[in-house]
């Protein structure tokens, strides 16, 4: 990963701020009866009207502008014509390209009233992301992040997804390093000042193995829990600075 030139940091900040506003905008349309395809259209319109492009659209053949992962879907859910139902939880994951830079963020949304169990897994996923972000700094490693995430999640009685994780990001959508949700302190890759990574732990209710599902005409797969129990995820894009970090996709 190449550090971002000092005079271009503001461009990366701009892309990430647009991603944050887009996520809130799309999320405000979540309600019973809305389809994820309608949310996709709302996202695409918002992105284009703000002078940006949706990074997922056409990425390795991915057919839509955002990912919508409902209930047992872990990530990369493809928006479709299924109406959202009372009690569903869903992750909306948006990535925009603006001025040549990528901003990537996701969060969980509730459809109507949801169960305590559903609220809890979302709370665990959000705190797990925050625990990971706390570790980000110029003398940390990806192992420090993964260790903090998995320690917290395990303590709360949940399971981290090991197969998928965060990534370097900037001019490139998915760059080095790989940021797993498990690891050992001091191990993995050293973080580089003035580069960005995402912290995006995926949390499952059970230890069931995950199922990989093909998406037609795409090499991207989507993933779901093997036993159809819930999964939750939050994601921020984070800049590593000389003294610590800055969360670029905070609204
Ligand atoms: N935004 C996802 C991530 O956090 C990647 C989506 S790629 C797609 O890395 F092709 F599935 F859209
Ligand atoms: Co990401
Ligand atoms: Co994302």
Q: Is the CB of 23 under 6 A from ligand 1?
A: no
Q: Is the CB of 40 under 6 A from ligand 1?
A: no
End-to-end CA distance of the chain: give it in Å, rounded. Answer: 26
CATH number of 74's domain: 3.90.230.10
* Cα–Cα nearest to 190, from 149, 152, 135: 135
Residue 1: predicted pLDDT: 84
Number of H helices, E strands in the chain: 4, 15
Whether the predicted pLDDT of 51 surpasses 90: yes
Distance CA 235, CA 247 (A): 10
Number of domains comprising the chain:
1
Distance (Å) from CA 105 to ligand 3 centroid? 5
**Full domain range(s) for residue 205:** 6-247
CB 109 within 8 A of CB 134: no
* SS3 labels along 15-31: HHHHHHHHHHHHHCCCC
Q: Is the CB of 222 under 6 A from ligand 1?
A: no
Q: Which atom of ligand 1 is nearest to the CA of 198?
A: 4
Q: Which of 22, 54, 75, 202 to mutate to test the pocket of ligand 1 (most atoms within 8 A of CB)?
A: 75
Residues whose Cβ atom is located within 5 A of ion ligand 2: 104, 198
Q: In this structure, is residue 1 part of a structural domain?
A: no
- 16-39 confidence digits (pLDDT tens): 999 999 999 999 999 999 999 999
Residue 198: predicted pLDDT: 99
Q: Is the CB of 57 under 6 A from ligand 1?
A: no
Helices (H), 87-137: 116-134
* Residue 226: Cβ within 10 Å count: 14
pTM above 0.85, yes or no: yes
CB 248 within 8 A of CB 17: yes
Q: In this structure, is residue 42 part of a structural domain?
A: yes
- 71-114 confidence digits (pLDDT tens): 999 999 999 999 999 999 999 999 999 999 999 999 999 999 99
């Amino acid at each position: 990963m190449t550090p971002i030139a000092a005079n271009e940091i503001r461009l990366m900040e701009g892309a990430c701020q647009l991603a944050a506003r887009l996520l809130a905008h799309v999320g405000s349309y979540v309600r019973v009866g809305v389809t994820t395809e309608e949310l996709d259209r709302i996202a695409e319109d918002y992105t284009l009207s703000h002078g940006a492009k949706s990074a997922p659209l056409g990425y390795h053949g991915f057919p839509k502008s955002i990912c919508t992962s409902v209930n047992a879907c872990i990530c990369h859910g493809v928006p479709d014509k299924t109406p959202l139902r009372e009690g569903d939880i869903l992750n909306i994951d948006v990535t925009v390209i603006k001025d040549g830079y990528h901003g990537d963020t996701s969060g969980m949304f509730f459809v109507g009233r949801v169960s305590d169990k559903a609220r809890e897994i979302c709370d665990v996923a959000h705190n797990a992301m925050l625990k990971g972000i706390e570790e980000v700094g110029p003398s940390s490693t990806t192992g420090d992040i993964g260790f903090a995430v998995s320690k917290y999640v395990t303590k709360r009685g949940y399971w981290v997804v090991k197969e998928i994780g965060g990534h370097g990001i900037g001019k490139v959508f998915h760059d080095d390093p790989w940021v797993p949700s498990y690891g050992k302190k001091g191990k993995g890759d050293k973080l580089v000042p003035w580069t960005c990574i995402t912290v995006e732990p995926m949390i499952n209710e059970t230890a069931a193995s995950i199922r990989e599902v093909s998406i037609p005409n795409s090499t991207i797969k989507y993933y779901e829990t093997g036993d159809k129990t819930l999964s939750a995820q939050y994601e921020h894009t984070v800049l590593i600075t000389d003294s610590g970090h800055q969360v670029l996709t905070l609204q």
